[in-house]
Chain A
Amino acid sequence: MSKTAYEKVKIARGNKRPTGLDYIRGIFKGFFELHGDRRFGDDPAIVGGIALLNDIPVTVIAIEKGHTMRERTARSFGAPSPDGYRKALRLMYQAEKFKRPVICFVDTSGAYCGIDAEERGQGQAIAENLTAMMTLNVPVISVLIGEGGSGGALALSVADRVWMLENAVYSVISPEGCASILWKDSSKAADAAAYLKLTAQDALSYGVVEEVLPEADIGQKSFYENLREKLYGEIQGLLTEDNLPQKRYERFRAFGKPTSENREAEDTRSDT
């Protein structure tokens, strides 16, 4: 129970940990993968398609890291390119058209960092997903299953419910990156990990996630069965709710709101 933040970072990065495709295989039936962003290419770091969650057709989008070195290289270590985010966006709009809920599995050290990614507008691709997901008129659930690396993870996590595995992490910057900026010393990553408050328990305490999912039986049949039923129950509930985009906006609107006294002072000022 008493793992340090950095121990959790290492667990979250472990190559034996179930990846996006393992979740898709374990939870859904009849998964049909859909490729390509219809703009430039098909990013192997993001897997998307349609599947059945029990009897409900859903759109599933997962970041896939791969397990072996060969798989990891082929999946660009789960670092999505702009084409991946645009594929995800295409599938989300498609889901909205056919009134299918969207379920995302997020596991990335961050959006792909490369010359071609910058040429094709990595920042713009992420920004577009943020705005689009905010007003998507179907239920969206995102599950952070490993690493939640900054904007690259957020681009699939603007959801009605965000859940996080017990040993997953969610952070604005990697602990190594933070340590090298602050102390010019990436070996102090363990300290940075603690300061960044990046564990699932921290995220829960800030309201960034609704639930932390236990990992005792991670990867086993029972684990996927439980998660399937949990997703099924939540999706059924969300399908009966009105005005999801409004509630989603309010969910994210609440982060970093100043205290009410501050607000009142500001309100009188802004009338000028």
Chain B
Amino acid sequence: MKKVPLLSFIHRPQNELEKEGRTVAAVQQDEYEQEKTCPNCHKSIPLSRLWSNYNTCSCGYHFRMAARQRIRFVTDKDSFNEMFSDMRSANPLDFPGYDKKLETVCDASREEEAVICGTAEFNGRKCCLFVMEPYFMMGSMGTVVGEKITLLFEYALENRLPVIGYTVSGGARMQEGILSLMQMAKTSGAVKRHSDAGLFYLTILTDPTTGGVTASFAMEGDIILAEPGATIGFAGARVVEQTTRKALPKGFQTSEFLLKHGFVDAIVPRQTQKDTIVHLLDLHARGGAV
């Protein structure tokens, strides 16, 4: 029996409410039920209520969400078919400590890599879907993430399917060095080919989307949505502060900041994401983009 890491039950909820991914509000709070404190409004929220409201607080704060939980709440029931799930990162640079790190992260997250790819239906419309995993090295992009996303775009191109992508990433994975950097070019090439074929690509940026993922496929969507309050940027805020020695403006690198500066199309809370995705797919249905 492996040691279960603290809070792992949040990453992979097992209660009945969560199985279907949604909507029924928690009727009552169990006496021993754990609570989470909202970092925004500082209220305590029983976990069942949090889960039944898409991991959001009533004040609007969006807690981080594991990839599989996201897939359950956003796709049609039982429509998700996972692809490329067997791929695992090697240690191409023989980077010290990386093998061990991967092992620990696999155990803790119960995922093999930082992105989950496949096909899914949204109100009956078939799409390719990738969802990045915040609990796997903060969604960092190494060779496997790059390869899975590239394969997904190639599959989508071949089968003329739109791609929906949820991003969350600390950037390129430094333990795979220059090969991680090359994934930015590789995935961008695959996105471009898909795009040049007149197919639709929608990205939804979630907290945090930074570094090499921002500077590649996250920012290459035909339409770019963001979750409220997410941190989105290229350079890390701390690095910007240290480099410029200037106080950062309020709300720097939030979704709202990007909307104001013209880099995202809309901010969409989780409660309306599925409807928004379906609506956008409908709007692209003519002309074969979907």
Contacts and interface: CB of A to CB of B under 8 A. Distances in A.
Interface of A: 111, 113-115, 117-124, 126-128, 130-132, 134-135, 150-151, 154-155, 157-158, 170-173, 178, 181-182, 195-198, 202-203, 206, 208, 248-249, 252-253, 255-258, 262, 265-266, 269-270, 272
- Interface of A (DSSP majority class): helix
A131 B178 contact: no
A113 B235 contact: yes
A256 B178 contact: no
Interface stretch (B10-18, B60-68, B214-222, B268-276): B214-222
Interface of B: 81, 83-87, 92-93, 95-97, 142-144, 146-147, 150-151, 155, 172-174, 176-186, 188-193, 195-196, 211-212, 214-220, 233-235, 239-240, 243-244, 246, 248-249, 252-253, 257, 261-263
Contacts of B246: 115
Given A130-B188, A151-B172, 8 more contacts: A111-B234, A118-B240, A121-B261, A131-B188, A134-B185, A172-B174, A173-B172, A262-B86
Contacts of A114: 235, 240, 243-244
B101 to A, nearest CB: 10
Given A253-B189, A255-B143, A127 B217 contact: yes
Contact of B215 (A127, A173, A196, A202): A127
A247 to B, nearest CB: 11
A123 B146 CA distance: 17
Contacts of B183: 255-256
Given A151-B215, A255-B183, A117 B234 contact: yes
A123 B147 contact: no
B263 A121 contact: yes
- Interface of B (DSSP majority class): helix
Contact of B178 (A123, A124, A198, A258): A198
Given A126-B215, A151-B211, A258 B179 contact: no
Contacts of B211: 123, 151
A206 B180 CA distance: 12
Nearest to B174: A173
15 contacts: A113-B243, A114-B243, A118-B240, A127-B214, A127-B217, A151-B215, A171-B181, A173-B172, A198-B178, A206-B179, A249-B193, A253-B150, A255-B182, A266-B87, A272-B81
B93 A135 contact: no
Contact of B177 (A134, A171, A249, A252): A171
Contact of A206 (B144, B178, B216, B252): B178
A195 B147 contact: no
Nearest to B86: A265
B85 to A, nearest CB: 7
With most chain A CB atoms within 10 A of its CB, the pick from B192, B214, B234, B243 is: B234
Nearest to A257: B147
Contacts of B142: 256
Contacts of A270: 83-84, 151, 155
A150 B179 contact: no
Closest 3 CB pairs of A and B: A256-B143, A123-B214, A130-B188
Contacts of B182: 154, 208, 252, 255-256
With most chain A CB atoms within 10 A of its CB, the pick from B86, B178, B214, B243 is: B178
With most chain A CB atoms within 10 A of its CB, the pick from B195, B211, B219, B233 is: B219
Contacts of A172: 172-174, 176-178, 180-181, 212
B189 A252 contact: yes
A196 B96 CA distance: 10
B86 A195 contact: no
A99 B183 CA distance: 28
Nearest to A253: B186
B117 to A, nearest CB: 9
